[in-house]
Amino acid sequence: MVSNPFTDPDWAERVTQFIADWTEKIRARTTQPLIYLARAIVFGVIATIGVIASVTLLLIGIMRLVINVLDNWFAHSTAVWSAYFIVGGIFLLVGMFLMTKRYTKNTDA
């Protein structure tokens, strides 16, 4: 604890340490959680934007790949709508499979 400055030669150092300790305790309980929350929000938004962009570019690449493969056997206009049907059918099958997995066997509802 802080003592009399006239009798203690280390008074200035002890007072400075006391103030620094209390400032750190207050900062650890108030500001630090807000900093962690702000960082989580910012990095979450950045990750979400990155995932959305990656999925979009992946889907564009898949469509271009299927169209280029089908261009070897069909005319370009036929390859385009055939690619839409093929990729749409794949997504339909994946969606149907995932719909069967949405509930467990022991649901009461």
Segment 16-63, tens digit of pLDDT: 888 998 888 888 888 888 999 999 999 999 999 999 999 999 999 999
| pTM, full prediction | 0.61
CA terminus-to-terminus distance, the chain: 64
Mean pLDDT throughout 76-83? 91
pLDDT grade for 107, boundaries at 50, 70 and 90: low
Q: Given this model, what pLDDT does residue 30 score?
A: 85
CA 53 – CA 65 distance, rounded (Å): 18
Angle CA 45–51–55, to nearest 5: 150
Q: Given this model, what pLDDT does residue 10 score?
A: 81
Segment 87-101, tens digit of pLDDT: 999 999 999 999 988
Mean pLDDT throughout 77-82? 92
